[in-house]
Amino acid sequence: MRKLKIGMISFAHGHAKSYVQQLSKLPEVEIIGIADDNRERVQKWTTSISYYDDYRELLQTDADAVIICSENVHHAKLTIEAARAGKHVLCEKPLGVAIDEMEQMIAVCKENGVQLMTAFPCRYLPAVVQAKLAVERGDIGEILSIKGTNRGSLPGGWFLDKSMSGGGAVFDHTVHVMDLMNWFIGSRVVEVYAEADTLFHDIDVDDAGMVHAKFANDVIAVLDTSWSRSKSFPFGGDVTMEITGTKGVLSVNGFAQKNEVYSDDVMKAQWSYWGDNMDEFMVRAFVQALLNDEPVPVTGEDGLRSTEVAIAAYESVRAGAPVKLPAGKQ
């Protein structure tokens, strides 16, 4: 059996831990190295996996692909260098922090014959998968509007440093559900209006926002993006959509497959998620696409389409008015 050789670049983003765990379960994958300039945060995994303090050394190996989980501001540089080294890339979301750099990431990957996949595991949540099938069957007719939420707890660290993250909660939490909206609606966002502020925490970036989007096919959407979950909240965040169609309404709760847990040790209610692991299915889809020489299921263009809405949201906040997106760029 042919094995796909994959390297990990940076564990700055917490999702890297989950991805390496899921890769370790796949017999068709060999994790050939972890590159991170902070050895302490990867020490748990580098007892059995080769360690590189310089990602460029990992790119010189015979890895087929890399997974990038760095701070957002480094996504473009790392992806472009990986592509020029002939490596396929799975890049953590948001794909980049500026339109031009994301376009360059996509272009360089194509020029070098490698695939670029954006890490959008929410596409693999059971409720989302079933909802997509229901929409495709026409169960609710044509989509008229979507109301979504992606509310989480304060992440801390470099996420609160705009120079490293690109923005606050609006940037961090627009992209996941906006990708789902793009995927369900199948049309381009052409106009964005947003409100954002810092309401819940003493930080230098926004922690709350409402993002309104108008699509080219006249569907309208609104998304509640925030770091509003308190430390005492039972679960870290949510992914929900209420999809209104010409024949009915479909409610989607991405993390509803859970048990309520009451522990005297913790002294607060907790939710224990028992549903399928979205990271597992996303990583497996990336691996199978490369092994079968098929297109990856979530592209760099998908990453760009969702991130451009978050960028436009901040432009709208600054302008205090709706912002048109450059629909001519495909």
Per residue in 148-177, pLDDT tens?
A: 999 999 999 999 999 999 999 999 999 999
What digits encode the pLDDT tens for the residues 175-202?
999 999 999 999 999 999 999 999 999 9
Q: Would the pLDDT of 329 be above 70? A: no
Which pLDDT band holds residue 330 (cuts at 50, 70, 90)? very low
pTM over 0.85: yes
**Mean pLDDT score across all residues of the chain:** 95
Q: What is the pLDDT of residue 274?
A: 87
What digits encode the pLDDT tens for the residues 79-135?
999 999 999 999 999 999 999 999 999 999 999 999 999 999 999 999 999 999 999
Q: What is the CA radius of gyration of the chain?
A: 20
Q: Are 58 and 9 in contact (CB under 8 A)?
A: yes
Q: Which residues pair with 35 in a beta bridge?
A: 9, 52
Q: What is the pLDDT of residue 14?
A: 92
Q: What is the pLDDT of residue 327?
A: 54
What digits encode the pLDDT tens for the residues 269-327?
888 888 889 999 999 999 999 999 999 999 999 999 999 999 999 999 999 999 999 75
Which pLDDT band holds residue 2 (cuts at 50, 70, 90)? confident
Q: Would the pLDDT of 235 be above 90? A: no
Maximum CA pair distance of the chain?
58
CATH 3.40.50.300 matches 123-276+307-324: no
What digits encode the pLDDT tens for the residues 199-234?
999 999 999 999 999 999 999 999 999 999 988 888
What digits encode the pLDDT tens for the residues 22-69?
999 999 999 999 999 999 999 999 999 999 999 999 999 999 999 999
CATH tag for 4-119 (out of 3.40.50.2000, 3.30.360.10, 3.40.630.30, 3.40.50.720): 3.40.50.720
Which pLDDT band holds residue 328 (cuts at 50, 70, 90)? very low
Domain boundaries, the chain: 4-119, 123-276+307-324
